[in-house]
Amino acid sequence: MTRRVPSDVLSTVLSAAVLWALSMRGPAVVVALVGLAAVLVVRRLPARIAAGGVEPVLAVAVAVAATGVAIATAPDSYTLTRLMTFGLLVVALQGLNVVVGFSGQLVMAHVAFLGIGAYTAAILSGTYGWPLILGIAAAGVVAAAVGALLSIPAGRLSGHYLAIASLSLAIVFGPVMKLDVMSGLTGGVQGLSFFSKPFAAPWPFRWLENAQWHAVVVLTTAAAVCAAVAVFAASSIGQAVRAGRDNPLAAASVGVNVPWLRSVSITVSAALGGLSGALLFLVGNRFVSPDAFTLGLMIELLVALMVGGRDTVLGPVLGALFLVFVYREGVERVTEDFRGGSYVMLAVVAAVLALLVAAKFAAPGPRHRRWRVAIGVAVAAGAATIGMATALEGRFAPVALGGLLMGALLIVTVLAVPDGLAALNPRTRRPASEQQTTNTTAQLSVPT
């Protein structure tokens, strides 16, 4: 008797494989994009398969822990660094997900929490000589305290105002750390570095190299965080937080303390951000610089969360995969391929992107006609790309091409997959009744 693989595991594996393949070169990118389109098309798996019982969180935890074991045997240090970055980004994104996804507050100051955590770990374990594990734990606590403090004014702001206000806090974090008045504590412009204090594996794990031990620490922390967030999301507190996001009035009327839970969400998110920052300090060879926590990083985190899927436990993991293996690497790969003169690949990429968008937005009608329109648009897009590339030959700097494709990929992903990749799994997709938008609400409200 054959075991039917549950659809969530299937879509997880498929998405992860697609994202990993996107980091390869040449035709593999095409295959990966075609695969992504296929995932979108076949997402309506038969109901019998979807009835499987494996929770996404288990899939996530297994994936992360398995990676943790795998790196124990991988001597290749570049892969190890990427895996460690993946792990700490999972923690950071889970934190961002708690406040942006579960609680619905656009707090864009997450990078500042990362920075606070990194500096706390550096100061405590470097300057004051605490054991590193304690330093990392303390980083989470300190960041949580700052988050709790910030949640007081944040409770009064909403929507875009909160986003921009917290964004400005994130922007000034770097300059504040660089100030001379603080340089006694923070090292000013040069940052803090403690290369000479290695963090080696304790007794039962002596057979691991230092780098491998760091990776094990980071990845098991990430797995633990995923499990914790899954428990939080399924608990009554998590449900209450989401209720407060979806309809604050109704939630308040059944006794949910919405402002308190909003503060709690920001605090938890800050704690996870601080934890991730401390891991960053570890991964960065015990060196932290004020220039590492920029607006660019905040935007990368936000984008990764959007693409991976917010409001699910799986989303941040997919988002971290996307960020490490596609976003940061894809730019260079595509540029190199373009320099080789392969307009065809460019055209195919453009065609697939156009297909994704057209399939979603083509005029409603019989399914085959919609697909014909979509394919027509895709072919037109491909031809137009080849035409433009030939016309602009020599006038367009290839170095800009990566940014162009990344931006286009972002726009297309948000248009075609608005709830992120994790929403491809029917079990983690949110109910359709929640698809209302702020515009509708604003129109229905009585003008004051």
Partner 1 sequence: MSGFVQVVLNGVITGTLYSLLALAFVLIYRATHFINFAQGELATLTTFVGWSLLHVGVPYPLMFVLVLVIGAAIGGAIELVVVRPALKLRSVNELTISVGLFLVISAITMGLYRGDVRQIAAPIVGRPFTVGGVNIPRYGLFVVGCAMALMLLLWAFFRFTTFGLALRATASNTRAAALCGIRTSWMLTAGWALAGAVGAAAGVLLAPIVGLSTQMMLLVLVSALSAAVLGGLTSPIGAVVGGVTIGVIQNLVGAYLDDVLKVVGIKIADANSYREIAAAVLLVGVLVVRPGGLFGRAPSSLERV
Considering only residues 307 to 326 of the shown chain, the ones binding partner 1 according to CB under 8 A are: 307, 310
* Identity of residue 51: A
Our CB check for partner 1 shows the closer of 38 and 399 to be 399
Considering only residues 88 to 127 of the shown chain, the ones binding partner 1 according to CB under 8 A are: 100, 104-106
Helix (H, G, I), strand (E, B) or coil at 237: helix
Considering only residues 135 to 154 of the shown chain, the ones binding partner 1 according to CB under 8 A are: 153
In angstroms, give the least distance from the CB of 410 to partner 1. Answer: 3
Does residue 379 touch partner 1 according to CB under 8 A? no
Does residue 179 touch partner 1 according to CB under 8 A? yes
Which of these segments, 5-13, 40-48, 177-185, 196-204, binds partner 1 (CB under 8 A)? 177-185
Token match 């990368």: residue? 300
Total site size for partner 1, rule CB under 8 A? 67
Q: Out of 236, 253, 433, 443, point to the residue binding partner 1 (CB under 8 A).
A: 443
Q: Out of 48, 206, 367, 395, point to the residue binding partner 1 (CB under 8 A).
A: 395
Does residue 418 touch partner 1 according to CB under 8 A? yes
Which of these segments, 12-20, 51-59, 196-204, 404-412, binds partner 1 (CB under 8 A)? 404-412
Does residue 350 touch partner 1 according to CB under 8 A? no
* Identity of residue 73: T
Does residue 243 touch partner 1 according to CB under 8 A? no
Spatial separation of the C-alpha atoms in residues 118 and 215, rounded to whole Å = 17
Kindly give the interhelix angle for 56-71 and 210-234, rounded to the nearest 10 degrees: 170
Closest CA to 420 of 275, 321, 295, 276: 321
Which of these segments, 44-52, 135-143, 172-180, 280-288, binds partner 1 (CB under 8 A)? 172-180
Q: Out of 145, 148, 149, 171, point to the residue binding partner 1 (CB under 8 A).
A: 171
Considering only residues 10 to 29 of the shown chain, the ones binding partner 1 according to CB under 8 A are: none
Does residue 181 touch partner 1 according to CB under 8 A? yes
Our CB check for partner 1 shows the closer of 160 and 369 to be 160
Give yes or no for a contact between 118 and 241, defined as CB atoms under 8 angstroms apart: no
Does residue 7 touch partner 1 according to CB under 8 A? no
Q: H helices of 208-327, where?
A: 210-234, 236-246, 248-253, 258-283, 295-308, 314-321
Our CB check for partner 1 shows the closer of 383 and 400 to be 400
Q: How far is CA 174 from the centre of its chain?
A: 22
Q: Measured between alpha carbons, how far apart are the two ends of the chain, in Å?
A: 66
Our CB check for partner 1 shows the closer of 77 and 183 to be 183
Does residue 161 touch partner 1 according to CB under 8 A? yes
In angstroms, give the least distance from the CB of 317 to partner 1. Answer: 18
192 backbone dihedrals φ, ψ, rounded to 5° = -115, 135
Spatial separation of the C-alpha atoms in residues 402 and 343, rounded to whole Å = 14
Spatial separation of the C-alpha atoms in residues 202 and 185, rounded to whole Å = 29
Closest CA to 103 of 285, 326, 266, 340: 266
Please state whether beta strands 287-288 and 192-193 pair in parallel, antiparallel, or not at all (unpaired): antiparallel
Does residue 406 touch partner 1 according to CB under 8 A? yes
Reported as type and span, the H/E element at residue 89 is helix 77-96
Spatial separation of the C-alpha atoms in residues 316 and 304, rounded to whole Å = 7
Does residue 437 touch partner 1 according to CB under 8 A? yes
Joined tokens for residue 293: 């926590």
Considering only residues 244 to 273 of the shown chain, the ones binding partner 1 according to CB under 8 A are: 245-246, 248-249
In angstroms, give the least distance from the CB of 180 to partner 1. Answer: 5
Joined tokens for residue 249: 């009035």
Give yes or no for a contact between 311 and 101, defined as CB atoms under 8 angstroms apart: yes
Closest CA to 322 of 81, 70, 90, 69: 90
Does residue 158 touch partner 1 according to CB under 8 A? yes
Q: How far is CA 7 from the centre of its chain?
A: 22
Which of these segments, 197-205, 315-323, 371-379, 396-404, binds partner 1 (CB under 8 A)? 396-404
In angstroms, give the least distance from the CB of 357 to partner 1. Answer: 8
Give yes or no for a contact between 177 and 316, defined as CB atoms under 8 angstroms apart: no
Does residue 343 touch partner 1 according to CB under 8 A? no
Binding footprint of partner 1 on the chain (CB under 8 A): 100, 104-106, 153, 156-161, 163-165, 167-169, 171-172, 175-176, 178-181, 245-246, 248-249, 295, 299, 302-303, 306-307, 310, 357, 361, 395-404, 406-411, 414-415, 418, 436-439, 441-443, 445, 447-448
